[in-house]
A and B are shown apart, each in its own frame.
Chain A
């Protein structure tokens, strides 16, 4: 049975007890808010617009059914019945009371989950491909490396006071499904000419107010050199990263200001120093972790009535056309369950939905669940003969929306409906766009497209990477939305470009409509995706359609 549960429950219980004591001291006045704030942030506790928010890490997006049920318990017992999947494979609870959060951390610790380093100037949750360990094109499962990095970096003294937050992503195949170019460090697993595993190492990516794509600092790093090389990168950043201005304190700024070659030389020199301290224990441990992440025992069976059901049920066929991904084992697929049903807040999951997914993972999916960075959930190992039964159960819970990768599968941050940093709302805009194109019945015709919305320049909705990105801003006390075009986090990393001025909230849907109509008119065939057509023709026709009245 698959079980990636971190084996550190005693440590997590201790950390939860430590936070309980800190909360008690805050409440009795022994700690001021200024003293308490960094302590609560070290435990993933923010103070948001309406309430506290607890961000729980889902390491490399992998979660087991009992862990999922614990998230459901938290949602139901200490929140308002739901949680929110984020773009960095976390879950956020929007309404906990401070006095309850120690109990929530205790409950999480019982199943090996935690909120450590989900905030603060430290190494955040390591993210990966949601299809890790299952994808047909995978070089190797990235999750053991993610777990090694997680254990190495958690409470690592050197990384508790970095210049700013620090994000690492790993993809297990040549095709990037972890958006590695938008992270401080991105790792792509690959093999050398002899078949040995190693990593292509990217540094200096990141979004926010100064979006930048990462650059390759090492084409091939041998497998055993992972931790000393990461240490070298972070040591150089820790010493040379800007601390005078928090907006310039990210690695991307350091790389941009000092240049990749300077950074490479310093990293390689530091790597030589650090390498000697690694005697192989980390590699022994990595080998053990690989065993922990061993693939389940896939069964050999025919596809049953899968093809007949597809032929008989158009809605099922549509769902299988959009929501499945190729699997490495014969007869198996990975299933994406989207949390983007009509009227739904993108990424919100109710306690009932979480429990159902836990049950379905046990029944049909080798007890394995993944949180994807597009705010959906993946059942990575489902046999085709079980697909129709799974589909029917999902449909009964409103979770069989056939829209993975389509225009209503919108990534959206919580925006000003929840977030204290936001300058405009994201959620209603996402809902209006999804509703509009469903009403036009164009979703399947438009095909694959990636729309991403952020409620402020911090870019939690990763709008820069959307084929169409939308950024909410405050313009003289009114919500206003800038549109970007041509962003891509996957195939050919690209930061979207602004075609012109922003739009008031009530004009955003119309603007997106004109972009889509332009695409439908100029595409060479239904197979030419929006992003491919955009790359072929450039911004001009879209700009003309967006600002026709200004011409």
Chain B
């Protein structure tokens, strides 16, 4: 579900969901899905974002609950979360080195490095 904002160059968005079989967080990239949030497609146009969300919602045998999550463009041009909830989904829990921070094995995803 859209979180109630309109993607624009000022408030871009990514489309995120959970993998149906495994449950882990995934992000849309070129109409498909990636485990790496840094590879997510950043939407800055409302109409394109809404169309992509419809496409995501049609992939119900792959993902669960796709929605638009507000993001921002990081210094390297890659998307970064704009809200701490999405930061936790992108990183993993703060009490263990689990989730994306372990799966992706990058120092960028170390615990407590929101």
A binding-site residues for B, Cβ under 8 Å: 26-29, 32-33, 47, 49-52, 80, 95-99, 345, 348, 416-418, 425, 427-428, 431, 474, 477-479
Contacts and interface: CB of A to CB of B under 8 A. Distances in A.
Interface in B65-114: 65, 82-85, 88-89, 92-96, 98-100
Given A29-B60, A29-B61, A33-B60, A80 B21 contact: no
Contacts of B64: 33, 47
Nearest to A416: B88
Contacts of A428: 94-95
A33 B61 CA distance: 9
A419 to B, nearest CB: 10
A27 B65 CA distance: 15
A416 B85 contact: yes
B95 A479 contact: no
B92 to A, nearest CB: 6
B95 A427 contact: yes
Interface centre among B24, B88, B93 (most CB of A within 10 A): B93
A479 B87 CA distance: 13
5 contacts: A50-B89, A95-B98, A98-B21, A98-B23, A348-B95
Nearest to A428: B94
Contacts of B89: 49-50
Contacts of A479: 84
Contacts of A99: 21-22
Interface string B12-23: 000000101111
A50 B65 contact: no
Interface residues of B, number: 25
B93 A418 contact: yes
B25 interface: yes
Contact of B24 (A51, A80, A348, A417): A51
A417 B99 CA distance: 11
Contacts of B22: 51, 97-99
Nearest to B88: A416
A301 to B, nearest CB: 42
Given A32-B60, A431-B95, A50 B25 contact: yes
Nearest to A479: B84
A141 to B, nearest CB: 36
Contacts of A348: 95
A97 B95 contact: no
A427 B111 CA distance: 13
Q: Which 4 A-B pairs have the closest CB atoms?
A: A417-B93, A52-B23, A51-B23, A345-B95
Nearest to B91: A50
Given A33-B65, A49-B85, 8 more contacts: A29-B60, A33-B60, A47-B18, A51-B23, A97-B22, A98-B22, A417-B94, A427-B93
B88 A417 contact: yes
B21 A27 contact: yes
Interface centre among A26, A28, A49, A96 (most CB of B within 10 A): A49
Interface centre among B65, B88, B95, B98 (most CB of A within 10 A): B95
A28 B60 CA distance: 10
A23 to B, nearest CB: 9
Nearest to B93: A417
Nearest to A23: B21
A27 B23 CA distance: 12
A96 B82 CA distance: 28
B113 to A, nearest CB: 13
B78 to A, nearest CB: 20
Contacts of A97: 21-23
Contacts of B96: 80, 345
B23 A96 contact: yes
Given A32-B60, A47-B23, A425 B65 contact: no
